[in-house]
A and B are shown apart, each in its own frame.
Chain A
């Protein structure tokens, strides 16, 4: 279980400070799939980075299975069981797909064991396993490899930052299947997905709407989803904005 208590995060420039996350409290129980949604710039990615340890909060506390991990490094959080799928996958010259999957799994998987994870994300494993994770791969391929590495971790809590970004329509169906399957096999593990996609929202147990760094709504899918559809947050956001402002 992940507990976020009164978490805040600010960035400061020369003159002013900007609060990206404002005093958020949120619990992600075991065995649940939570989707965090909301307008761009609302703080969703920052929240995921704060949980993974990539950003450090300016105030508040994060507890993972009862242990305070607020000051813990990225590495230690990963070892405790937090995995993070980047919105924009990182490229590496010379590092192969098999190397990344082995590092993610934390053991010497053989080729066929590693291929299972690629097949899960709809990649023909034989074609990809020995390729370098570099710019020769398309955005969609990199994204699926990113998701495969995270699945290989089999973590207690897995964070996906906009997994649909860069994925083509054909592959998107596969991706939903991956999450649906994860959802079925979740047991006591939990998944947090940042997404704008209705099809992803549709498989959530709970939905959190994050807007301007604050939790606007949080509840079960049945409670939140009908209220989201047909009321585009972007339109609401534009209310009160005048031209040239």
Chain B
């Protein structure tokens, strides 16, 4: 697999991988083409027909394997919609690393809309990591609109880390999850917006079975003139536990709207939400300044920690 410098840089940023040493199952998509793919005995990656995307089949009882499916875009003006479906067999324990990096040096908007669906089998464990990143000096926007759907069978576990740190001009994130009895979902989302960027993130989690649990935490930093809207909803339809937390730092002329929502349709549903928006606390800055940091250095440390 031959990669140019921009492709290598984007892959490193979003998936922390060096394509030359990649092991396990993977598919690397660059400018709407698969430029490298590998299936393994337990993980089969098959192209879809009719629409762009892949079906990824993980055999039951597969343990300790990983799947990397990063996407990079380097052509200005490219717009794509990609459907990837993951079928995770019962008792499997797998790590899935996705993510998209867009480098747009041109004047046209580049857009990647990734629709990921996860069908997680009984007792299976999934760790999903998704990083979104934009670079390039062009006036064309870098747009990412991911849709993530998670369907969890009994006693399955899914841990999702969704990160957008830099350079994405416009994003509308939509995540839907449905959990059966004993299933456990953990989401850690981190969003940083700069300049005039806009990020909308919408979660709808349904806890449909007894002892289903969800813990959805979104942390955001809105700087400059950027805008964030966070819409976190958990619906409890059984004796279940749900927690959402929306925690944001606002800076400069940033604007943030947090809309936590809980819906209980069962007397034994236990649902909690927390939401907080505020600027960096003055005593945090002062403390770090007494350690010898300048105000700007202190601010950077506080934000880096917050979005860790």
**Bound complex: CA of A101 vs CA of B299, how far in Å?**
17
Interface status of A86 (Cβ within 8 A of chain B): yes
Q: Are B308 and A94 in contact (CB under 8 A)?
A: yes
Contact (A74, B290) CB under 8 Å given A90-B283, A90-B284: yes
Interface status of A95 (Cβ within 8 A of chain B): yes
Contact (A84, B305) CB under 8 Å given A90-B283, A93-B247: no
Q: Are A103 and B295 in contact (CB under 8 A)?
A: no
Contact (A99, B292) CB under 8 Å given A54-B286, A90-B284, A94-B306: no
Interface status of A200 (Cβ within 8 A of chain B): no
Prevailing SS type, chain B contact patch: helix
| Chain A 95-122 interface mask (CB, 8 Å, partner B; 1/0) | 1100110011010000000000000000
Interface status of A220 (Cβ within 8 A of chain B): no
Contact (A92, B305) CB under 8 Å given A54-B286, A74-B286: yes
Interface status of B289 (Cβ within 8 A of chain A): yes
| Chain B 271-308 interface mask (CB, 8 Å, partner A; 1/0) | 00000000001011011111111110000011011111
Interface status of A27 (Cβ within 8 A of chain B): no
Interface status of A126 (Cβ within 8 A of chain B): no
**Bound complex: CA of A94 vs CA of B307, how far in Å?**
7
Chain B residues near A94 (CB-CB < 8 A): 219, 304-308
Interface status of A79 (Cβ within 8 A of chain B): yes
A103 is contacted by which of B219, B247, B284, B293 (Cβ under 8 Å)?
B293
Q: Are A149 and B291 in contact (CB under 8 A)?
A: yes
Q: Are A75 and B289 in contact (CB under 8 A)?
A: yes
Q: Are B287 and A75 in contact (CB under 8 A)?
A: no
Chain A residues near B307 (CB-CB < 8 A): 94
Chain A residues near B292 (CB-CB < 8 A): 75, 78-79, 103, 106, 153
Contact (A75, B293) CB under 8 Å given A93-B305, A95-B301, A99-B305: yes
Interface status of A215 (Cβ within 8 A of chain B): no
Chain A residues near B301 (CB-CB < 8 A): 95, 99, 103
Number of interchain pairs (Cβ within 8 Å): 58
Chain A residues near B281 (CB-CB < 8 A): 90
Q: In the complex, which range does the number of interface residues on chain B fall in?
A: 20 to 34
Q: Are B290 and A84 in contact (CB under 8 A)?
A: yes
Interface status of A73 (Cβ within 8 A of chain B): yes
Instruction: Identify the closest chain B residue to A96 (Cβ).
Output: B305
| Chain A 108-148 interface mask (CB, 8 Å, partner B; 1/0) | 00000000000000000000000010000000000000000
Contact (A78, B291) CB under 8 Å given A92-B302, A95-B301, A95-B302: yes
Chain A residues near B306 (CB-CB < 8 A): 93-94
Shortest Cβ distance from residue A181 to the other chain B in the assembled complex, whole angstroms: 22
**Bound complex: CA of A93 vs CA of B307, how far in Å?**
9
Chain B residues near A50 (CB-CB < 8 A): none
**A 145-190 contacts with B by CB, 8 A:** 149, 153
Q: Are B290 and A95 in contact (CB under 8 A)?
A: no
B284, B287, B301, B306 pick with most chain A CB within 10 angstroms: B287
Chain B residues near A54 (CB-CB < 8 A): 286, 290
**A 49-64 contacts with B by CB, 8 A:** 52, 54
Instruction: Identify the closest chain B residue to A105 (Cβ).
Output: B291
B284, B286, B291, B295 pick with most chain A CB within 10 angstroms: B291
A52, A103, A106 pick with most chain B CB within 10 angstroms: A103
Interface status of A208 (Cβ within 8 A of chain B): no
Chain A residues near B304 (CB-CB < 8 A): 94
Instruction: For the complex of A and B, list the 10 residue pairs with the smallest distance between their C-beta atoms, beginning with the closest.
Output: A94-B305, A95-B305, A78-B292, A74-B289, A90-B287, A94-B308, A84-B290, A94-B306, A90-B283, A104-B291
A-B contact pairs, 22 of them (CB 8 A): A54-B286, A74-B286, A74-B289, A75-B295, A86-B287, A90-B281, A90-B284, A90-B286, A92-B284, A92-B305, A94-B305, A94-B306, A94-B307, A95-B301, A95-B302, A99-B305, A100-B291, A103-B288, A103-B293, A103-B301, A149-B291, A153-B291
Q: Which residues of B contact A (CB under 8 A)?
A: 219, 247, 281, 283-284, 286-295, 301-302, 304-308
